[in-house]
């Protein structure tokens, strides 16, 4: 049921800045031309002009009057097959050719049945191409890392993965409807590549990847032992971009899979690889709805803008999110983007407002009563936060420099060792609320230091933020029964959730250290009497 609903969400979203590229279309900066003459004169066959016919090249050569091509010039990464329709009698009949305007002598016409592109030519480009059949014997589906990738939706699920090819060193996440992740990792150990690597596996059937229904793909992967990952596949066979000739893809033992918790090598690991990686989670109807709402929010919104896009449904609740929004703005303007991803911060802000809106809708009457009694405290904190943000605009370079310098000094040390213990991430808690809690501590510490301790800011801040946000969110935070934490991490895929959290916690610890004896305000449920 959840899978069917996910398809509706994915296919109904019209605004989507990144998209999957079937290889039957021309990827950016990819081209291939067969010339009859070695001097590139006379008859020729260009992929750009005849792409739909490259599944049967002998026929295309005949109708194009190219009797025997003597030169093949390619830009990008290409597969050449010994038979039409991207088939090959044996693994040795699939060949790889790559380069940037690389011109080489092609194999005999009798050995060329079909040809399709794999990726573009940017040295920094990273892509994953998925084939439904083994030995790359199908039209490939290419996902290329262009700009801010995030999660890429699929118009329909990938039910079978027979073979796979990754261009570039970056790992990729295959995400199921349940939020589980298979991580595909190029494994280039002891291999020195002067150019971009091309890593692949022609046979995934033995690893039963077909049991896993992929509904989304994301660039990068969580940490290798992240709870959401059900399998790590390491591509062991790699070639280098820019081949001097056409290279056969030998039938390698190209992939090593490892389920989490399994150690060792050899036969023991091989036995583990043949097990199904899936551990399917059953969701309630309420959980399914929440997952879908968050996926739609993740895919539907543009998080490049500083402006908040999600607000409470009830007009009388609009004022409540202003202190939270201001706290996030303070961090957005004072932490270098190369340390904490600003887009990730904006997503966390929107997801936090989503949580709060759900709570406020459930407890509308009770929330209004509590708010009316303490309105004066909220007004004071809101005013001071806005004053703090205005001051930040004049001094943000100072804080950027402090954080950048400290981060550089700790580059070779574990960030965890320089982080306040209260900010250590609890993997059993809601990761969005965990992160929002740390961000608000950052704003509190920075403003306290910026005001030079002139106001009783700390007490009012803690009272207001606990009453407005963290007390209502306690159940979702401490015991996130509404949605499993690993599912949230899957929705946030495309970012290293743990890494981003640690960096946010690192910056917050620095701000606290600027004020002698200032401690974080503890998580609400720990202080509850």
> 76-107: per-residue pLDDT in tens?
899 999 888 888 766 567 889 888 888 888 77
Q: Which of 460, 457, 258, 291 is nearest to 374 (CA)?
A: 460
**β partners of residue 166:** 128, 199
Q: At what angle do helices 457-465 and 375-409 cross, to 10 degrees?
A: 100
Of the listed ranges 23-32, 148-157, 255-264, 502-511, the one predicted with least confidence:
255-264
Q: Which of 408, 470, 435 is nearest to 348 (CA)?
A: 435
At residue 404, φ and ψ (nearest 5 deg) are -65, -45
Q: At what angle do helices 342-362 and 431-450 cross, to 10 degrees?
A: 110
Which of the pair, 397 or 305, is modelled with greater confidence?
397
The maximal CA–CA distance of the chain, rounded, in angstroms, is 88
At residue 32, φ and ψ (nearest 5 deg) are -155, 135
Question: Per-residue confidence at 175, pLDDT binned at 50, 70, 90?
Answer: confident
Residues sharing a CB contact under 8 Å with residue 516, sequence separation 6 or more, in sequence order: none
- Positive or negative, the CA dihedral 142, 185, 101, 39 is negative
Question: Per-residue confidence at 9, pLDDT binned at 50, 70, 90?
Answer: very low
Residues sharing a CB contact under 8 Å with residue 165, sequence separation 6 or more, in sequence order: 77, 118, 128, 129, 131, 136, 140, 198, 199, 200
Which of the pair, 224 or 515, is modelled with greater confidence?
515
The alpha carbon torsion through 162, 165, 169, 172 (nearest 10 deg) reads -40
Reply yes or no on whether the pLDDT at 437 is more than 90: yes
Question: Per-residue confidence at 165, pLDDT binned at 50, 70, 90?
Answer: very high
Reply yes or no on whether the pLDDT at 411 is more than 60: no
Rg, the chain, Cα only: 27
At residue 244, φ and ψ (nearest 5 deg) are -80, -20
Report d(CA 380, CA 461) in Å as an integer. 9
Reply yes or no on whether the pLDDT at 529 is more than 50: no
Reply yes or no on whether the pLDDT at 327 is more than 90: yes
Q: Are 290 and 485 in contact (CB under 8 A)?
A: no
What pLDDT does residue 471 have? 85
Q: Which of 159, 116, 109 is nearest to 137 (CA)?
A: 116
Reply yes or no on whether the pLDDT at 328 is more than 90: yes
Q: 């607000």: which residue's tokens? A: 311
Q: Kindly report the CA angle at 52 between 48 and 54, in degrees rounded to 5?
A: 80
Which of the pair, 33 or 396, is modelled with greater confidence?
33
What pLDDT does residue 508 have? 92
């Amino acid at each position: 049921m959840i899978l069917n609903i996910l398809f509706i969400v994915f296919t109904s979203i019209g605004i989507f800045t990144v998209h999957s590229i079937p290889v039957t279309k021309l990827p950016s900066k990819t081209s291939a031309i067969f010339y009859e003459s070695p001097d590139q004169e006379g008859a020729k066959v260009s992929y750009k002009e005849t792409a739909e016919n490259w599944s049967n090249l002998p026929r295309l050569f005949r109708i194009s009057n190219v009797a025997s091509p003597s030169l093949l010039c390619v830009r990008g990464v290409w597969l050449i097959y010994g038979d039409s329709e991207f088939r090959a009698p044996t693994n040795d009949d699939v060949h790889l050719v790559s380069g940037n305007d690389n011109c080489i002598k092609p194999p005999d016409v009798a050995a060329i049945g079909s040809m399709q592109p794999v990726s573009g030519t940017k040295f920094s480009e990273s892509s994953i191409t998925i084939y439904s059949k083994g030995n790359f014997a199908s039209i490939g589906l290419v996902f290329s890392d262009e700009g801010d990738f995030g999660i890429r939706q699929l118009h329909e699920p990938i039910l079978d993965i027979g073979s796979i090819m990754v261009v570039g060193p970056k790992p990729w996440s295959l995400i199921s409807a349940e939020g589980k992740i298979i991580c595909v990792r190029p494994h280039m150990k002891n291999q020195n590549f002067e150019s971009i690597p091309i890593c692949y596996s022609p046979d995934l059937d033995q690893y039963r990847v077909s049991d896993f229904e992929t509904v989304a793909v994301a660039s990068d992967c969580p940490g290798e032992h992240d709870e959401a990952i059900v399998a790590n596949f390491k591509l062991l066979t790699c070639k280098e971009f820019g081949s001097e000739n056409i290279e056969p893809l030998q039938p390698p033992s190209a992939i090593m899979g490892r389920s989490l918790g399994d150690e060792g090598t050899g036969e023991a690991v091989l036995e583990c690889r043949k097990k199904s990686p899936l551990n399917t989670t059953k969701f309630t109807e309420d959980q399914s709805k929440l997952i879908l709402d968050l996926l739609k929010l993740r895919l539907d919104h543009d998080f490049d803008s500083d402006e908040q896009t999600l607000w409470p449904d009830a007009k009388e609740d609009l004022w409540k999110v202003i202190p939270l929004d201001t706290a996030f703005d303070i961090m957005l303007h004072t932490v270098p983007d190369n340390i904490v991803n600003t887009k990730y911060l904006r997503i966390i802000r929107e997801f936090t407002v989503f949580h709060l809106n759900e709570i406020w809708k459930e407890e509308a009457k009770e929330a209004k009563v509590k708010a009316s009694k303490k309105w004066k405290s909220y007004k004071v904190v809101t005013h001071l936060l806005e004053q703090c943000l205005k001051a930040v605009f004049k001094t943000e370079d100072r804080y950027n420099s402090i954080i950048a310098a400290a981060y550089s000094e700790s580059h070779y040390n574990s960030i965890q060792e320089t982080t306040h213990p209260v900010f250590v991430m609890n993997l059993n808690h809601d990761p969005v609320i965990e992160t929002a809690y740390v961000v608000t501590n950052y704003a509190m510490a920075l403003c306290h230091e910026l005001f030079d301790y002139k106001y009783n800011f700390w007490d009012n801040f803690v009272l207001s933020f606990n009453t407005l946000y963290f007390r209502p969110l306690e159940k979702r935070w401490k015991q996130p029964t509404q949605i499993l934490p690993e599912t949230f991490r899957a929705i946030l895929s495309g970012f290293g959730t743990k890494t981003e959290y640690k960096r946010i916690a690192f910056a917050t610890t620095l701000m606290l250290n600027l004020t002698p004896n200032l401690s974080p305000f503890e998580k609400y449920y720990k202080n509850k009497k």
